[in-house]
């Protein structure tokens, strides 16, 4: 998705060979026009999957997930990282997930009221790195007896093993921007790396 790649190039900051900061448009300040385009693109990619619910983890996944759910005209559910006092702790699905950027585990929960057997669930997240967040959400969806219709990722760090982990379990992954390297404080996209390798050959 060229609009997203351009935002990453111009407004993203490489903090290290493993960390890309995109809080100017995605996960702190939100570019609503860009999120609308992202949501529409996910809706287009998964249009044939009979999606009945969109699921994400709070909070960075909410903006693109909301726009996708709006485009698909289905409800959005976000897994909570902290249980609300209004949430019955006996009436939840939960999974323990590790955050690459925060270097900590979270117990994420979804009320059993909102996921049902027979649902076809599209999982959306802002980043794919080691695949732990998406794996945690697939566990919740499947515990509910629902089916994972696919996994949509805004930005994938293709130099980490998240995609291999999820595809190895049979899930369909659609990433709007795939980054092959952050070495030398420069964002290199997968398509650019492939083109460079082709030109060298």
Binding residues for xanthine: 20, 27, 157
> How many angstroms separate the CA atoms of 129 and 148, rounded?
19
Binding residues: 20, 27, 129-133, 157
Binding residues for 5-phospho-alpha-D-ribose 1-diphosphate: 129-133
> How many angstroms separate the CA atoms of 5 and 89, rounded?
41
- Which residues 6+ apart lie within 8 Å of 87 measured at CB? 80, 109, 111
Shortest CA distance to 110 belongs to which of 152, 82, 80? 80
* Residues 46-69: b if buried by 16+ CB within 10 A, e if exposed: beebebbbbbbbeebbbbbbbbbb
Q: Residue 201 is inside which H or E element, if any?
A: none
């Amino acid at each position: 998705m060229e609009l997203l790649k351009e935002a990453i190039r111009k407004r993203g900051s490489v903090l290290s060979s493993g960390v890309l900061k995109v809080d100017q448009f995605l996960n702190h300040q939100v570019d609503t026009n860009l999120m609308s385009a992202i949501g529409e693109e996910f809706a287009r990619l998964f249009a044939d999957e009979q999606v009945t619910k969109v699921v994400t983890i709070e909070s960075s996944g909410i903006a693109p997930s909301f726009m996708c759910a709006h485009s698909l005209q289905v409800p959005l559910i976000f897994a909570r990282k902290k249980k609300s006092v209004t949430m019955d702790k006996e009436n939840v699905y939960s999974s323990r997930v590790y955050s690459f950027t925060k270097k900590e585990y979270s117990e994420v929960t979804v009320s059993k009221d909102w996921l049902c057997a027979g649902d076809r669930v599209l999982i959306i997240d802002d980043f794919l790195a080691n695949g732990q967040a998406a794996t945690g959400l697939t566990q919740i969806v499947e515990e509910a007896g629902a089916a994972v219709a696919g996994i949509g990722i805004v930005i994938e760090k293709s130099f980490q093993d998240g995609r291999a982990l999820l595809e190895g379990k049979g899930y369909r992954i659609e990433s709007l921007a795939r980054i092959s390297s952050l070495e030398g404080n420069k964002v290199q996209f997968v398509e650019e790396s492939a083109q460079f390798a082709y030109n060298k050959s």
